[in-house]
Amino acid sequence: MGLVDFRRFNANNWETLRRHPLAEISGALGDLGTLLPLMIALAVQNSISLSSTLVFSGLWNILTGVIFGIPLPVQPMKAIAAVAISRSFTISETVSAGFFVSGIVLIFSVTGLLHWFASVIPTPVVKGIQVGAGMSLILSAGTSLLQPLGWTSPSWADNRLWGIGAFLALLWTHSFPRFPYALVIFVVGIVLSFLLTGSSNLPSLAIWHPQFLVPSWGSFKTGAIDAGLGQLPLTTLNSVIAVSFLSADLLPHLPAPSVTSLGLSVGLMNLIGGWFGAMPVCHGSGGLAAQYRFGARSGASIIVLGLFKVVMGLIFGETLVGLLHQYPKSLLGVMVLAAGIELAKVGETLNNGARDLWEGSEAAGPSVLQGGSVANAFRMPTDEERMQRWTVMVMTVGGLLAFKNDAVGFLAGMLCHWAYNPPSIFRRQTGSRWNFRVPKIPWRRNTEEQPLLSSP
């Protein structure tokens, strides 16, 4: 990214924040439903340093908002978090898993393999990963956050009645899309948390004292094998490739980051913050959809969020655990539900507007968008092709949901695609010869000058 791009993106950031401050702040809070439960659970059992997590994830929020100019989320690596919680990982084991995944993704990015991989994945499979991730969020909201609630339990401030009220308010916002729903819900949740938290558990002054951590070989092996291997396909598919495509779908007037730059971002975030006990983090299509759903339209939203997290981490740190632990799950559940619906909606354009259907575009590759727009001629697929594309997407979604694994969903979708189109997905054919050349690495998917100060 050049200096000109940097200035353009940040001019758009501040102009958007100036024109729609409440919407940007509300959007910044849209991903709390994913962040808070995992971060709190890991901090309570001492699998991460909460203060380091807040400081470093806040710094990454600020930097990604400045560099990419879009509301790119910084969220937990979910597979690592799930294993760390279930097996009570030490901090060394948790960050080692992040080191492993980030190191592999960084190598793939630098060598161009990540870009090549994204360029050969058919659009129906990418859409399937996105829709499957959205459906997973919806199921998670129901099973983990909302279903355990009773009509008046676990407390007067967190029960089904609050969930129903938050859901009805969410439906009401469809008529008022710029209403700062997530901001209002966050404030209500914090007030309820204070009322539920005893005076002994309220946050107090605790200046951050970072401690440098060097994992042992045993900790690295445990983290890498037991948690890192399961996270690697999830990060590659959902945190890099799906995010690159989704950002072009949701924010077509802004340049979408390439898979290479996203991979470098994921790698560097954890290879820096992990040495201080910070939670392994990545980007994610669900977080991007959530922040967009609740109003974020530029990088300014996550810059504001990052500043808030850094201040909280520097001043209060570990003392925030008690307060955050009381945050109502009824409110978080509705926010996760809304994020899942927003993400799953991208499947609607599979046969009507998907980028690989525009003549002159590279088939489903991440460099489809040129100068902020696609080719001029839309190719309407035949009925047979529409059915094939739909079947591939549904197969991908089904595999992902059935096995709760992005890699299984990806493999199921690819096998289904090859059944219809054998086996040209892995090649670029010149006559009868195979060509495995790795394409040049684009740092951003759009390179031409274009106005950014458009209405969100």
Per-residue pLDDT at 438: 44
Per the CB < 8 A criterion, the answer to whether 140 and 82 are in contact is no
Q: Is 317 left (phi over 0), alpha (psi -120 to 50) or beta?
A: left
Residue 59 scores a pLDDT above 90: yes
- pLDDT tens readout for residues 380-394: 878 888 899 999 999
- Asked if residue 418 is part of any domain, the answer here is no
- Asked if residue 315 is part of any domain, the answer here is yes
How many domains are contained in the chain?
1
- pLDDT tens readout for residues 38-57: 888 888 888 999 999 999 99
The one-letter amino acid code at 384 reads E
Per the CB < 8 A criterion, the answer to whether 339 and 185 are in contact is no
In the block, residue with structure tokens 């991440």: 366
Going by pLDDT thresholds of 50, 70 and 90, the confidence category of residue 359 is low
Residue 173 scores a pLDDT above 70: yes
Q: Which range marks the domain in which residue 147 is found?
A: 16-123+141-344
Mean pLDDT of the chain: 83
- Cis amide prior to 154 (ω within 30 degrees): yes
- Asked if residue 351 is part of any domain, the answer here is no
- Asked if residue 61 is part of any domain, the answer here is yes
- Asked if residue 426 is part of any domain, the answer here is no
Per-residue pLDDT at 447: 43
Q: Kindly state the tokens that stand for 75.
A: 């969220």
- pLDDT tens readout for residues 204-245: 888 888 889 999 999 999 999 888 888 888 888 888 888 988
Q: Please state, as a whole number, how many other Cβ atoms lie within 10 Å of the Cβ of residue 395.
A: 22
Beta bridge partners of 430: 433
